[in-house]
Chains A and B, each alone.
Chain A
Amino acid sequence: MSLADLPLHDMQRAASLDALCGIVAERHARGEATVLLAGGTDWVVEQELKPPRGDADPRPLVVDVSCMAELRGITATRGLLRIGAAATYLEIRRHPTVIERAPMLAAMARELGAIQIQARGTLGGNLATASPAADGVAALAAYDASIVVKSVRGERRIPFSALQTGYKQSTRAPDEVIVAVEIALPPEGSPWLWRKVGTRRAQAISKVALAGIAVRSEDRVVRLGLGMASVAPITATLLQTRALVLSRPLSAITADALDAAVLSDIAPIDDVRSTREYRKHAAKAVVRGFLRDLGAPV
């Protein structure tokens, strides 16, 4: 399908977030699917790849959430950056607070897709479809973001580390709406890295992408966030690598140990964009590059 086929679906908007949660819950209870449509950059493509449905097959209800006020907006209070689930990447990359306090997020949004995709795509949407190749989700992994979700049962926060359970699987309940993401901002001036290895310089899905955030105290890294796209069935959080770096002075980190940790954290595959072997090589190289910038002799 294309966007032009959207009228084939039942479409509506909800008056409020509570009303939206109500619609989703009611339909879920009846076993009916609801699609929350923000930018549609993943969902529309997925529909194209699905086998054609017969005229009699039920189509999901599509609720347009792109204009819902409660899901939009970017705010920062007391070191906490909150980005509405339906804020677009274009809004993110242009937001003064993001540029100043979360420059890695701005850098990621700048390299994501074409300007048209940036103008439609959202973090909420990428979290919902849960592709391990999503650049935005890798950045959230590095920030150890919390995902704010809401349902008729109330609101809760899912730490990023507890979100993804398998390929396109998550701990978010089917009736929970993604409202926002929250990031505990690292101190201003903290080192960061956004490194996308794509098939071309722009408008490419990553072969490997690394998001990195570090807080350094003399020869040690005291806070480290890493997120990597396109190297495992879920967004890789590189826990072994983080543990290695946090466990010893930067000067005691060796390239071999770092490489081994990275390899234990990822499980890449061969596909049209790259090979398993090249992804392993690139993953090691980009992590080494970040640690080298931080002062490790790797």
Chain B
Amino acid sequence: MTDTRKPSELRGLVGSRTRTLLAPRVTGQVRYTDDIHLPRMLWGRIVRSPHPHARIVRIDATRALAKPGVIAVITGKDMPERFGIIPWTPDEYPLALERARFIGDAVAAVAATDERIAHEAAELVDVEYEVLPAATDLQTAIDKPEVGLGKGGKDNVSKEVDLAFGDVDAALAESDVVITGDYYYEGSAHVPIETHCAIANLDKNGLLTVWSTTQVPHYLHRELSRVLRVSPTRIRVIQPPVGGAFGGKSEPFSLEFCAAKLAMITGRPVKFLYTREEEFYAHRGRHPMQIHMKVGAKRDGKLTSVDARTFIDGGAYSSFGLVTTYYSGQLLTLPAFADTYRFRSTRLFTNKPPCGPKRGHGSVQPRFAFEVSLDKISRALGIDPIELRRKNLVPPNTTTLNGLRVTSNGIEQCLDAVEKASGWKERFGKLPKGRGLGVATSAYISGTNYAIYPNAMPQSAVQLKVDRSGVVTVFSGQSEIGQGCDLMLAVLVADELGLDLGSVRVVSGDTDLTPVDLGAYSSRGTFMNGNACLMAAREIKSKLVAAVAEKLDVDPRSVLVTRGALVVVHDPSRGVPVTEAIQLAEAKFGTLGAVGHYNTPKLGGDYRGGTIGASPAYSFTAHVAEVSVDARSGIVRVEKIWVAHDCGKALCPVIVEGQMEGSAYMGAAEALLEEHVIGPDGLHKGPNLLDYRIPTSLDVPDLHALIVESEDQEGPLGAKESGEGPLHPSIPAIANAIFDAASVRIDRLPFSPARVLAALRKKQADEQAAAVESSLGGFAPRRGAAPPNPPAAE
């Protein structure tokens, strides 16, 4: 048996100090945006549309302005400039100019001396609306494109992608089995504990500072400049530590513009803090998707073709929708795939809170449909579902059907790990009725290969400042949103320079202090920011080595960095403590500092959209879920999830495991509990934490995180992402386990007790009807005309 410790532990990268760095988070010492109170600060409140679709006829702020304590009211006319995270599709105004497009759309904003007055004053802003017909569900948007946000035809189409690789029709025709299914993936919200918050202040020198709970300070900096028509040199964006984001804070929102504008008008700092209800309406959560999918296979299990037709409910604005639409197909070609592929996806506008990126942007929904299809194929062909996947794996160091360059690939080890840990071979198909196992796999990007706005500059950068006391400070544009990117940087620097983790400080997310990084999205942090940081640390390291070599009069190639000291390789008794090495280097080279950056190689398929899905590395995941299904109540309980994830290299295993567990937990919640449902009236069905059901600790299954390390050649010390990938297989693994437990397919999320019970009853009725039919020797009535309660066949 080999050493059971994880490789990273062997390298001594992390120890108990990890917890020291995380302590402020769990002991309430982190200062979040809402903890900031500035002298003379005003409170802002957004006036929101009560109609899902309406023309704004007139806004009268007279009554609000007459209220004592109200300082200013602004409307769309104060900022008549469109914005949007994707430069090609700017379609939002900070405050709606002519039309409100969903209930909750921002139409005006108030600044007052305290929060209560601001809330009350917002109710006193009189807005006259001309109510327009609304499309509040996907089917209406498909069937009646003239209702809602379009004028008919393709006018309400946000984006359409139609890509084909190989002759799909021929491949399907030659298949021995073709599984056709209709899947519906319900929308869900991010539900960060910290709701959106922004504060703006204009100082005497004309510098506008905006503190925001954003995941993308750099993009926010650009958009503030454009919309406010203020030079970027006069704007500073500070992103304090964020209390959870999950993709829900990765574009500019109304509150940042409104805080800034009101600060400019009033000359006083202004704070906006979204209520929980506003958070649900600001949304940008998981897109509902309706997926029609065909998957074909040969008798031996080799997949021949995948053909998908998908409709995406986009909500009222574009957000990242252009990218979402590509992601609804592009990432399916890993880790196991067919010879031919075609997908056509259409994102439609509806009069609902806009959807956007949520952990596993756009690719979680098709993953559900595909992995369930694979399970159906395995049943049809009598092939073990893990074996079926093994037969179709895309190997390492290759290119996929749609042009994705794959380097390191640990999916086989992931499958092996979950198969072994779950006792799959001994237990699959052999559990008692009502209990079952299901498997699913996935792959995900370690950062999108291209910046949101095309440019040749680095995607990520850091600066290192080295103090002669032995402290190294990392200045990084990355956004610490609770995912641990500050710790990741500290680990890399400490490891490279032989420092204790406590001697590395990280300053991040401040456009005045830190170099540009594009933000905390697309799982890019570790790979891109980590590589930038390594580049800078290695420059410092070479100077320390040179200075020590000179002092000890040895060849620099024989100087080795160890924990706490630089020593001579063949004579470790000769060495210099790191702090002394820093001082020697400062004496020799002058003040120590370094910059590092990362940019991606040119990647992607040679077709329109071929760059979307391209990434310098892919992570891989396999899940096995064990569920119990109670036939009496329809209640599904996830008893255990084994999740194996190839993160390249676990720079900080405790954080990687946390990301894997958090992903599996969030996926299980989408599978069983969460529903972001908007009624026909355009109102959210439960915009609060009582009715929107995130799981409590009692609802969480037993999670087993199994780290797999494939050592990526281009990743920092071999590392890849772990924040989003591990979510994907959760949902199909649970769906497949439900089938193993109860022989019913639930192709629509969530797998609620009522839905599961209905499926169980339908199955029972079908079986009874079939039994009656066979007992009548072929003279039975058609199934649809069968008596409602056929006698049970004995």
Contact = CB atoms under 8 A, between A and B. Distances in A.
Given A205-B690, A274-B754, A278-B757, A52 B698 contact: no
B interface majority secondary structure? loop
B31 to A, nearest CB: 21
A269 B695 CA distance: 24
Interface in A118-173: none
A100 interface: no
B677 to A, nearest CB: 8
A197 B698 contact: no
A219 B567 CA distance: 87
Contacts of A203: 690, 696
A223 interface: no
B527 to A, nearest CB: 36
Interface string A248-276: 00000000000000000000000011110
B120 interface: yes
B691 A272 contact: yes
A277 B690 CA distance: 22
A193 B526 CA distance: 52
A275 B634 CA distance: 13
A275 B685 CA distance: 13
Given A52-B123, A272-B691, A282-B633, A201 B686 contact: no
Contacts of A281: 757
B753 A278 contact: yes
A294 interface: no
A68 interface: no
Contact of B685 (A200, A272, A277): A272
Interface string B525-565: 00000000000000000000000000000000000000000
Contact of B696 (A8, A201, A272): A201
Contacts of A199: 673, 693
A274 B693 CA distance: 12
B430 interface: no
A272 B116 CA distance: 29
Contacts of B130: none
B40 interface: no
A19 B753 CA distance: 51
Interface string A203-221: 1110000000000000000
B120 A202 contact: no
Nearest to B684: A272
Contact of B754 (A52, A205, A272, A278): A278
Nearest to A273: B691
A interface majority secondary structure? loop
Interface string B613-642: 000000000000000000011100000000
Size class of B's contact patch? 20 to 34
Interface in A1-25: 5, 8
Size class of A's contact patch? 20 to 34
Contacts of A5: 116
Contact of B633 (A8, A200, A201, A285): A285
Interface string B680-704: 0000011000110101101100000
B698 A200 contact: yes
B375 to A, nearest CB: 26
Given A52-B123, A277-B754, A272 B686 contact: yes
A49 B677 CA distance: 19
A200 B699 contact: yes
Nearest to A285: B632
A202 B693 contact: no
Contact of A275 (B677, B690, B693, B754): B754
A204 B698 contact: no
Contacts of B699: 200-202
A277 B673 CA distance: 18
A114 to B, nearest CB: 8
A5 B120 CA distance: 12
A202 B696 contact: yes
A193 to B, nearest CB: 15
A195 to B, nearest CB: 10
A197 to B, nearest CB: 7
Given A52-B120, A272-B685, A204 B693 contact: yes
B681 to A, nearest CB: 13
A33 to B, nearest CB: 21
Nearest to B119: A52
A292 to B, nearest CB: 11
Contacts of B695: 200
Contacts of A8: 116
A277 B696 CA distance: 26
B698 A201 contact: yes
A139 B632 CA distance: 24
A272 B677 CA distance: 9
B755 to A, nearest CB: 9
Nearest to A5: B116
B421 to A, nearest CB: 25
A275 B753 CA distance: 10
Contacts of B67: 55
Given A272-B691, A275-B754, A285-B633, A200 B673 contact: yes
A188 to B, nearest CB: 30
A52 B119 CA distance: 10
Contacts of B757: 278, 281
A278 B634 CA distance: 9
A197 B699 CA distance: 13
Residue among B67, B120, B686, B754 with max Cβ neighbours from chain A (10 Å): B754
Contacts of A197: 633
A73 to B, nearest CB: 30
B120 to A, nearest CB: 6
A55 B634 CA distance: 50
A272 B687 CA distance: 11
Nearest to B673: A200
Residue among A55, A205, A272 with max Cβ neighbours from chain B (10 Å): A272
30 contacts: A5-B116, A199-B673, A199-B693, A200-B673, A200-B693, A200-B696, A200-B698, A200-B699, A201-B696, A201-B698, A202-B696, A202-B698, A202-B699, A203-B690, A204-B690, A204-B693, A205-B691, A272-B686, A272-B691, A273-B691, A274-B754, A277-B754, A278-B634, A278-B753, A278-B754, A281-B757, A282-B633, A282-B753, A285-B632, A285-B633
Instruction: Give the top 9 A-B pairs by smallest Cβ distance, nearest first.
Output: A278-B754, A201-B698, A272-B686, A272-B685, A52-B123, A200-B699, A202-B698, A272-B691, A199-B693
Interface of B: 67, 116, 120, 123, 632-634, 673, 677, 685-686, 690-691, 693, 695-696, 698-699, 753-754, 757
Given A197-B633, A201-B696, A201-B699, 17 more contacts: A55-B67, A55-B120, A199-B673, A200-B693, A200-B698, A203-B690, A204-B690, A205-B690, A205-B691, A272-B685, A272-B686, A273-B691, A274-B754, A275-B754, A278-B754, A278-B757, A281-B757
